[in-house]
Amino acid sequence: MKLPRRNFLHLTAGATALPAVSRIARAETYPSRPVRILVGFPPGSAPDIVARLLGQQLSDRLGQPFVIDNRPGASSNIATEAVVHAAPDGYTLLVVSLANVFNATLYDKLNFDFIRDIAPIASIDRQPFVLETHPSVPARTVPEFIAYAKANPGKINMASAGAGSAPHVLGELFKTLAGVDLLHVPYRGNPLPELLSGQVQVFFGPIQSGIEYIRTGKLRALAVTTAARSEILPDVPVLSDFVPGYEASAWLGLGAPRNTPADIVERLNRETNASLMSPEMKARFRDLGDTAFTSQPAEFGKLLASETEKWGKVIRSANIKAE
C-alpha cells in the first residue's frame, strides 16, 4: 500500500520523536526506588556529613530515599570501584573527592580508570585547607614561617594523615613553591593530637577540623589555601598572597557509572544545583566553612580532568607513593 506523502511524513516525525519522548518519560519517573550514595570515608567525616545533607535534600525533592552507604578504605578506591561496576541506571552514585584525582597517579594498578569510568554529575562544595602551626613556632605570618623554615632546613615536622593524603600533597606543593625543606611525618589517622602537643609543628589541615583550635589559640592559622578568604576566618590571608601560584581546595561532587543515561545525569544535576541553593544548605555550609559550588556535568568533568593533571604533576615530582 502506498501512503500519501503527508501521512508518511507524520509517521516519520513520530518515529523520530519516540527516543526523545522516552528520555523525558524516564527522567520524569526517575527515581522510582531508593538511590544509594557511596562515600569512600567513614561516618562523621567531611564527605559523609556533606553527603547526608545533600541526600536529605534530594530525598525531599525527588520523593525517594537517598541512602548514604559508607565504604571506607584504600583512600576511597573501594567505594569508587563499587560504583564503576554498578548498573548505570542512576541508582548507585559516588561522592567524588580530591582523593579520586590523587589516586589516579598514586596507584599504578587500579581496576578502573576514574576519568573514563565515572560520569560527572555535579560539583557540591569547596572548602579551604589551612596552613596551621603550633604556637611554639616563632612565626606569625607566612613570610616569617618561610624564613624560619629556610633557617632550619629539615628540622620542622610537617604532619599529614598518611603518604598521599591531601595534607601531604598540599604540603609538597608548598615546599616546592616556597623553596623550603620540611620533614614529612605521616600518621595513620588524625595528626591533630600530635600537632596540639607540639610533637609536629605544621599541618595543612581541613578548616573543619582545626577551626575551634584556631579560635581558642591552640593553633595558629597563617593562611588559607583557596584563592579567596574564608568567611569563617576572614582575618586570615590567602597563601597565594605570599606564595604566587599556590591554590588548593577540598571539593566534593557527585558521580555515576559511565553510560548512565544523559537524561538521568541532567536531572540529578538540576536537582543537586537547586538543593545547594536552598536556605537550609547555605546555612549548614556556612557553619561548616564550606561554599556551595554548582556546575553543569561538562564543567565538573573539566574540573576533574584539570585537577588530575595538576596534582599528578605534584605527586610525580615529589615521588609520592601510596602506602
Tell me: pLDDT of 235 over 80: yes
**Can you state the angle between helices 262-276 and 46-62, rounded to 10 degrees?**
110
158 DSSP assignment: E
* CA pair distance 37, 57, nearest whole angstrom: 13
Whole-number percent of the chain with pLDDT over 90: 82
Going 235 to 239 to 240 to 244, the CA torsion angle's sign is positive
* CA pair distance 139, 144, nearest whole angstrom: 5
Tell me: pLDDT of 8 over 50: no
**Closest by alpha carbon to 170, among 127, 139, 213?**
127
Q: What structural domains and CATH numbers belong to the chain?
A: 34-127+249-317 (3.40.190.150), 128-241 (3.40.190.10)
255: three-class secondary structure by DSSP: strand
Average pLDDT over residues 62-76: 96
What's the confidence (pLDDT) of residue 10? 54
pLDDT, tens only, 14-30: 555 555 445 555 556 89
Tell me: pLDDT of 71 over 50: yes
Compute the mean pLDDT over every residue in the chain, rounded to the nearest whole number. Answer: 92
Residue 259 has phi, psi (to 5 degrees) of 75, 10
Q: The cell 612565626 sits on which residue?
A: 139
* CA pair distance 311, 185, nearest whole angstrom: 20
What's the confidence (pLDDT) of residue 322? 83
Tell me: pLDDT of 261 over 80: yes
Which is more confident, 102 or 12?
102
pLDDT, tens only, 202-232: 999 999 889 999 999 999 999 999 999 998 9
Q: What are 4-9's contacts with CB under 8 Å, separation 24+?
A: none
Q: Where are the beta strands (DSSP E) in the chain?
A: 35-39, 66-70, 92-97, 118-133, 157-160, 183-186, 202-206, 220-224, 249-257, 291-292
